[in-house]
Structure 1
Amino acid sequence: MWKHISCIGFVILNFQAFRADGQMCPVADDIAPCHCLKDAVTKKLDLDCSNVLDSWQLERIFQARFPSPAFREFTMAGTEGHRVPIVYLADGVFGNLSFASVVIKYTNISHVGEKVFEKSYDTLESLTLSYSDLQVYPATNLRYFSTLSLLDLSYNKMVFLQDIYSLSLQILNVEHNEHLAFSDKLLTVVPSLLEMSLASCGIESIPPGLFSSAEVLSNVNMGGNKLTHLEGNALAFSSNAVLEIILSDNEISRADKDFISGTSASANLVLMNNRLEELSEAVWRPILQYLDDEKGSGFVTLDGNPFFCGCKLAWLVTSPGLLNYVARGAACEDGSLIHDLNPEYFLDHCY
């Protein structure tokens, strides 16, 4: 008798201990083909729904009983050759579950409900929805996420990016949305934004002052676009936190005076593979002079531009202190490196 009671007590204690452990997965059959995993160290739960067949099945799964509604990560990821056949994430599809991280890749998702992650407003730290067919993401709800630090919407079919209002966002990646449009107020309130990529988005111009409200922005990538002209204040920043600005693989052939400002002497400006034929002294001397005066560690990279190395370049070739802040790969259209040009020749023929 006492032996049986002891066994029952042992089972109850162990069950209570399991519950006290914090997290419990639902019954496996109730959520198939999704599966729940519990981290042996952290005891946190992860949920993988990469094998779901359609939106109806996904909705049914989240109607199951989930003993613990808080999950560390939700994953729904196909492959390049076999995408997850989900086309829409509706509001309420995840029931009362919350996530700290969401990774959705290689799906057919084209639209997302405005409140689809409503239960994660206080928990979501990272949201990736990439390599899909997303056309518009409801960015107006970003203000409600109190801990979101990363938003990755890269490799989609987005046609418009709504203005961003987020106190917590640190990394914004929307690269490879090839026909992306946005307003000149894109970065409405982003006091924590450190990195952003708008690479390969078909962008033809940078609105003056686009980055001026980003107080701590350090890395900007706008490579692979269709930029032809850097207008005044196109790269105006509000602090000296900028470390790297990438504008490579565009079609830039001219730049206005004061197109860049507000950077530190540690900033790297990368303009590889553009169409610059000359470096106007009025435009470029102030940039290089600032780096020289401050003894900065920054530089300007101009490799792959078809420079005409005539007398208009004499000011740079004959100023070794300034030339030191141009990366060595910059070359004339005949292949001669600008760093290897003879300054004596320019002194004799250009002055």
Structure 2
Amino acid sequence: MVHQIFVLLAALSCCFCCGTLAIENKDQHLRDLPCPPAEDIQPCVCTVLDSSTFDIEMDCSSVTTNDQLASIFSKDFPFKDILSLVIDNNNDLTTIRPGDFGQNTFQEIHISGGRLKTVEYNAFSSSYGTLTDLYITSTNLDSFPFAEIMWFTQLKYLHLENNLLDGFPTLTSSSLQYLYLNGNPINGIELLSLPLLDSIYLYTTAITYLPPGTFTNLPNLDYIRLNYNGLQVLEAGTINLQTSYNNVHLYSNDLTSIAEGALVGLKGGTLDVQNNQLTELAEAVFRPLMDDGVDVYASGNPLDCGCEIAWLVTSSTYMNQLDDDASCTSGQLVTELDPDMYSVIC
């Protein structure tokens, strides 16, 4: 009888242990969600970014081959809608291929550093309807499927700065608002079909000429940054903005001439033409801008400061809209010029 009781107690104890183990395993599974099991995705790491929305980030910075990446994303993900993909300073991946991410979708993709050279067509096609932010920065990227951008219906931010792209892309998008192509050896620019574009960054490229019409027919554009290029002239019809407050940065180029009608529609905000080769601030160009409340930064230009500048010097309103460091070829600050002398002589 005692033996039977002992056996019964042992069996109950075993069942209790099994039940406890099952509960622990279940709890562990629940703790993994919404991420897939860690062992299935190594060396990628899944992190829950927000416990209220269950947004997850997949950091795959340590993957070594495309096949490994494809194998990881072929696993059974409990939730395929992933907020963010991160690949930082990876020196093994040189190409992103179609199918590398399976059927998983991303809202944000962040790839920086490393030796990535090519993004193939359809590499991110599963995210056509979800991707809002695409960052591929400071890599060896010289091939990107720009024609595919039109299919990303939610894309707002396209960051491709500090890569090796040498041709300006033909871009069409009904959603893109912010475009960063600075730090690429781009040597020309095409017309843009981006009705929602707000800001464009093209500084430190190899662009030396802007065709007339470059920044026109862009109804929401209000920020242009073109500093540290080799621009020499701005022709009529180059920039025509339609928003109520604008900033245009053209400093540190080689501008010798800005034609009348080259800068139209600027209101409020700033026009920065510092560190160029302008010898005058032509009234036909700059007065309409100042009348619309634009502040002009013009230091670092060899201004002649003859009668051609009288319109500016004799107006305290306009002078308040000019930076204090603008100077003449003699070294004298424009702010120190005598307006009475210009009124008498000119």
TMscore range, shorter length: 0.7 to 0.9
| Runs (5+) with no aligned partner, structure 1 | none
Separation in 1 of the partners of 2:303 and 2:221?
31
- After superposition, residues 236-247 of structure 1 pair within 5 angstroms as 236-237=240-241, 239-247=242-250
Post-superposition shift, 1:116? 0.8
Deviation at 1:26, TM superposition (A): 2.4
Matches of 1:125 and 1:6, distance apart in 2: 49
**Map of 2:218 onto structure 1:** 214
Q: Which runs of 5+ in 2 are unaligned?
A: 1-11
Residues 1:40 and 1:263: Cα distance change in structure 2 (over 3 Å): closer
Q: Tell me: CA distance 1:99–1:22, structure 2 relative to 1, closer, same or farther (3 Å).
A: farther
- Partner deviation per Cα, 1:215-252 (whole Å, 9 max, x = no partner): 11121111111100011011112x13442111111110
Answer whether contact 1:247 1:271 (CA < 8 A) is retained.
yes
What are the residue-to-residue correspondences of 1:39-188 with 2, within 5 Å?
A: 39=49, 41=51, 42-78=53-89, 83-183=90-190, 185=191, 187-188=192-193
Q: Give me the CA root mean square deviation.
A: 2.6
Give the Cα separation in 2 of the matches to 1:122 and 1:16: 34
Question: Segments of 4+ in structure 1 off by > 6 A?
Answer: 16-19
Aligned AA (2:62): N
1:262 is aligned to 265
Could you tell me how far 1:29 is from its partner in structure 2? 2.7
Q: How far is 1:22 from its partner?
A: 10
Comparing 122-131 with 337-346, greater Cα deviation is found at 337-346
Question: Is the aligned partner of 1:276 residue 2:287?
Answer: no
What is the total number of aligned residue pairs between the two structures? 334
**Which of 9, 21, 33 is residue 43 of structure 2 equivalent to?**
33
The CA distance in 2 between the partners of 1:124 and 1:150, in whole Å, is 9
Q: Partners of 2:141 and 2:322 in 1: how far apart? A: 40
After TM superposition, the score normalised by the length of structure 1 is: 0.86
Calculate the TM-score normalised by the size of structure 2.
0.88
> Structure 1: which amino acid aligns with 2:320?
N
Q: Distance in 2 between matches of 1:7 and 1:217?
A: 65
Distance 2:281 2:331 in 1: 17
Question: In the alignment, which residue of structure 2 is the partner of 1:287?
Answer: 289
Report the more deviating stretch, 9-18 or 46-55: 9-18
Using the aligned pairs only, state the percent identity: 29
Q: Is the 8 A contact 1:70 1:99 kept in 2?
A: yes
Letter in 1 for 2:145: P
Contact 1:217 1:241 in 2 (8 A): no
Greater CA radius of gyration, 1 or 2? 2
Match of 1:199 among 194, 199, 203: 203
* Range 32-41 or range 168-177, more displaced: 32-41
